[in-house]
Amino acid sequence: MSTAALDPTALLPESLRDDFPILHNQVLENHPLVFLDNAASTQRPAQVIDAIRNVYEHDYANVHRGIHTLSERSTELYEEAREKVRGLLNAEHAREIIFTSGTTGSINLVARSWGGANLKPGDEILLTVMEHHSNLVPWQQIAAQTGAVLRHVPLTEEGRLDMEAFDRLLTDRTKLVAVASISNALGTINPIDEITTKAHDAGALVLVDAAQSVPHLPTDVRGTDVDFLAFSGHKMLGPSGVGILYGKESLLDAMPPFLGGGSMINEVRLDSFTPAELPAKFEAGTPPIVPAIGMSAAIDYLNAIGLDAIGRHEHYLTQMAYEALSKIEGLTILGPGPEHRTGLISFVFEKIHAHEFAQVLNDQFGIAVRAGHHCTQPLHTLLGITASTRASFYLYNQPSDVERLVEGIAAVQTMFAPRGRRRRKRSEG
């Protein structure tokens, strides 16, 4: 495997793996675990696990509602987490940070609240064909309710957004552009700055599904001037069950509450209510207290390493994997070259279904990859395939993981080859 063009100084130290207890597990027949399913969900370092345990052991109570010591401690930690997220995104105000259940919950909040209040028959929502179902289905639902029309930006042959088509589809009827910063299936890095500038010039708002970018690259919501941005804690070393919606304060102020109940109110009467100020307005009921505090610890961990350094590390692994996989006969990589993608590679293998392929990689070699349509069924249909295999990298992966993946793929190819020859012989007979 030639890596002459790669710079090994871009790699993070292998000692980072020591922070992740699960990575030292053996799987199935005592195979060392090679975890390459990070685009679905990452693992947690001991620092995050300890933070969660510590809250439950010393500080836990409901937030914002009590005047006793534990409630005050939990509230302080919870709001500190909000400030950590604000800093991570370079948002102007902490009240622009809404805790949700995840990226899906965040996008649904905007669709039901902003979309329900603002969209009218004939208004257009501009999406792309590479979107995750979480950034398709909510808009399909709100379009059906409001009479709005969905448009979809196609791809180039390379697997990048067709920006000429984007320019044609973006009109004065477009009210919102909703786009992934990075495709979870292709790894394509989309030009969010360009998209946002053009959308605003046309009078449209921009929502970014940043689930695949916030954990891997620096994010600056003021620099890009996006209107809404959504991501999840579990994809960035944090707990599941917590996500973020960033929204510009003026937009969030004008939007009606999405859920009703406790915490999101200022005053309740028998026949009416007045909503609370931001951010409580959109955090009805008991919020994800401990997951948010765990997410805060994850942000500390990422900041200590540096997202620029994480991005360089992943790019090294992606280049390495792309070069090696490109040489395997019968394997087709989906999406653009390494210079236009982040740390994941999806591929299809001639005559071997993705599910069967991934199962053998796991069962025989302890390599955890993802197989399926990756919640991008329309994209896979467009590409003429039902499923693909995806290997995705994070800060704790090392070149040895890529080497194991390549060796495993070659072994699986060999395992399936005799069966293929036998079938051909039978059909020829």
Look at residue 295 and tell me whether its pLDDT is greater than 90: yes
pLDDT in tens, 177-216: 999 999 999 999 999 999 999 999 999 999 999 999 999 9
Give me the mean pLDDT over the 404-427 stretch: 69
Instruction: Tell me how far apart the alpha carbons of residues 165 and 167 are, in angstroms, rounded to a whole number.
Output: 5
- Choosing from 375, 382, 385, 411, the catalytic residue is 375
Q: Are 288 and 300 in contact, with CB atoms under 8 Å apart?
A: no
Q: What is the pLDDT of residue 352?
A: 87
- Name the band, by pLDDT with cuts 50, 70 and 90, for residue 426: very low
Q: Domains plus CATH for the chain?
A: 8-32+306-428 (3.90.1150.10), 48-304 (3.40.640.10)
Instruction: Tell me how far apart the alpha carbons of residues 246 and 342 are, in angstroms, rounded to a whole number.
Output: 23
pLDDT in tens, 18-27: 999 999 988 8
Q: What is the pLDDT of residue 28?
A: 77
Instruction: Tell me how far apart the alpha carbons of residues 333 and 329 are, in angstroms, rounded to a whole number.
Output: 11
Answer yes or no: 266 catalytic.
no
Q: What is the pLDDT of residue 222?
A: 98
- Name the band, by pLDDT with cuts 50, 70 and 90, for residue 369: very high
Q: What is the pLDDT of residue 29?
A: 73
Give me the mean pLDDT over the 274-293 stretch: 98
Helix (H, G, I), strand (E, B) or coil at 343: coil
How much is the mean pLDDT over the chain?
94
pTM of the model: 0.95
Q: Are 249 and 92 in contact, with CB atoms under 8 Å apart?
A: yes
Give me the mean pLDDT over the 291-309 stretch: 98
Instruction: Tell me how far apart the alpha carbons of residues 407 and 410 are, in angstroms, rounded to a whole number.
Output: 5
Give me the mean pLDDT over the 168-174 stretch: 98
Q: What is the pLDDT of residue 215?
A: 98
Instruction: Tell me how far apart the alpha carbons of residues 294 and 237 are, in angstroms, rounded to a whole number.
Output: 9
Q: Greatest CA span in the chain, whole angstroms?
A: 83
Indicate if the alpha-carbon torsion angle 337, 338, 341, 345 is positive or negative: positive
One DSSP character per residue, 286-299 reads S--HHHHHHHHHHH
Q: What is the pLDDT of residue 358?
A: 93
pLDDT in tens, 335-357: 999 999 999 999 998 888 899 98
Instruction: Tell me how far apart the alpha carbons of residues 292 and 241 are, in angstroms, rounded to a whole number.
Output: 9
Distances (CA, A) of 76 to 60, 91, 102, 109, 393: 11, 20, 22, 25, 34
What share of the chain in percent tops pLDDT 70? Answer: 96
pLDDT in tens, 79-98: 999 999 999 999 999 999 99
Phi/psi at 25 (nearest 5 deg)? -75, 155
- Helix residue ranges, H only, 90-213: 103-109, 116-118, 137-146, 163-169, 192-201
Beta strands per DSSP E along 51-139: 97-100, 124-128
Q: What is the pLDDT of residue 423?
A: 38
Helix (H, G, I), strand (E, B) or coil at 175: strand
pLDDT in tens, 50-66: 999 999 999 999 999 78
What share of the chain in percent tops pLDDT 90? Answer: 89
Going by C-alpha positions, the residue among 370, 285, 214 that lies closest to residue 65 is 285
Q: Are 226 and 245 in contact, with CB atoms under 8 Å apart?
A: no
Q: What is the pLDDT of residue 409?
A: 93
Provide CB contacts within 8 A for 19, sequence distance 6+: 45, 46, 47, 301, 396
- Name the band, by pLDDT with cuts 50, 70 and 90, for residue 425: very low
- Name the band, by pLDDT with cuts 50, 70 and 90, for residue 30: confident
Instruction: Tell me how far apart the alpha carbons of residues 198 and 38 are, in angstroms, rounded to a whole number.
Output: 32
The single-letter code of the amino acid at 211 is A
Cis? peptide before 138, omega within 30° of 0: no
Look at residue 265 and tell me whether its pLDDT is greater than 50: yes
Q: What is the pLDDT of residue 418?
A: 58
